[in-house]
Structure 1
Amino acid sequence: MTVELGYGIDEFRATMARFASGVVVATTRDAEGNPHGFTASSFCSVSLDPPLVLVCLAKTANSYEAFRSSSTCAISILAEDQVGVARRFATKGGDKFAGAPFMSLPEGGLGVPGALGVMECEVRDRHVAGDHVILVAEVRNVRVGPGRPMVYFGSEFHRLGD
């Protein structure tokens, strides 16, 4: 299928769906200590010195206010068998943490058990970009686990081929 060049939002979405990426779940706590989180495919490293990463969050997300005001977050890089976690945190509304096991991190963050990597971070900057905010965070602690990554492509979750 060839998509013709165009200016509309549908063409832009179709083009961006052709870019494969990993999948993460970002978590934080609000001022009362309640957990919040979201699934993202817009995540990448920014710097090695200091170790910085970025993740993008829609301003319409239920967790937006918590991430807008929190100074910390945790980012879990999901494994190929964690599609249920990805879907739960991508769905708007509901208690995303109900019945889900999460591991406590050294500085109080929440990580996804079985994730390929978990980073506990201090938020350094926030940049408004259109309908999203870009969170830039300095990595404070990491945990690395075994496994294969989940991939997001064509607006669906996939496993890597051999």
Structure 2
Amino acid sequence: MELTEPLDFSPVSPQAPTQEQIDEYRRLSAEQAAGVGIVSTVWRGRDYAATVSAFLSVSYDPPTILVSLYEGSRIAQAVSESGTWSLTLLTADQKRDANWLASPGTPIEGLLSQVKFKRGGATGCAIVSGALAYFEASTTNIYPQETHLLIVGNVVGMGSESIWTPNTSPLLHYGGDYRRLKP
């Protein structure tokens, strides 16, 4: 049944959004719960890692994933250049790791010194220990889109390090903060 009341909306010019529109977009998009993960790679002999909440399972056959990274970030440059990367999906108990790797100005040297991790068997990228799931990927396409790079990769390795219990919760980003599912 169509309601006759008009929607309360704000028109947006994609070519020239105002700062107010950008802020409103951020607020509204934060109302969607998203899983939290860590993207990592090894480039020029050094580990790079960052917290993300913008990733997507693209295809099951062949297994393909996508991650969105801010184009001007160290992790975007490293993942773009390395050709291989991993995505670790975190449990709610790994909030400290997510906070550390989301902090502006984290050091390049010793970046993972505060995070327990293992090396992925297919890529050698860091996989956060105790993860709900992890995927190792080989980049197939990179799509520049506005301020971000959409990086698509074929999954070349995957697994889990977490034993599921009724109290296990994924780490979620919702309303501008990290959350957990209520058991």
| TM-score > 0.5, shorter chain as reference | yes
Q: What letter corresponds to residue 181 of structure 2 in structure 1? A: L
SS of match in other structure, 1:141: strand
Percent same amino acid among aligned pairs? 28
Match for residue 28 of structure 2 among 5, 12, 15: 15
Q: Secondary structure at the match of 1:82?
A: helix
Provide the residue aligned with 1:75 in structure 2.
87
> Displacement of 1:125 after TM fit?
0.7
Q: Give the distance between the partners of 1:5 and 1:40, measured in 2 at CA.
A: 29
Number of residues of Structure 1 aligned to a counterpart in Structure 2: 158
Residues 1:56 and 2:68 aligned together: yes
Match of 2:9 among 5, 11, 17: 5
Among residues 46, 49, 52, which one is paired with 1:40 in the alignment? 52
Q: Note if contact 1:56-1:132 (Cα within 8 Å) is conserved in structure 2.
A: yes
Q: Is the 8 A contact 1:62 1:92 kept in 2?
A: no
Match of residue 116 from structure 2? 101
Give, as a single letter, the amino acid of the residue that structure 2 aligns with 1:153. Answer: Y
Question: Is 2:98 the partner of 1:86?
Answer: yes
1:121 has 2:137 as partner:
yes
TM-score (norm 2): 0.82
The one-letter code matched in structure 1 to 2:100 is R
Counterpart residue type for residue 35 of structure 1: D
Cα distance between partner residues in 2 of 1:5 and 1:41: 26
Query: Counterpart of 2:88 in 1: which secondary structure?
Result: strand
2:18 corresponds in structure 1 to none
**TM-score normalized by the length of structure 1:** 0.92
2:176 is aligned with 1:161: no
Please provide the CA RMSD for this pair: 1.3
| Unaligned residue ranges in structure 2 (runs of 5+) | 1-7, 13-20
Deviations 1:7-49 (A, max 9, x none): 411111111010101001000011x210001111111100011
> Which segment drifts farther, 16-25 or 100-109?
100-109
Distance 1:76 1:24 in 2: 5
- The structure that is strand-richer by fraction is 1
AA at the equivalent of 2:116:
P
Q: Residue 161 of structure 1 aligns to a residue in which SS?
A: coil
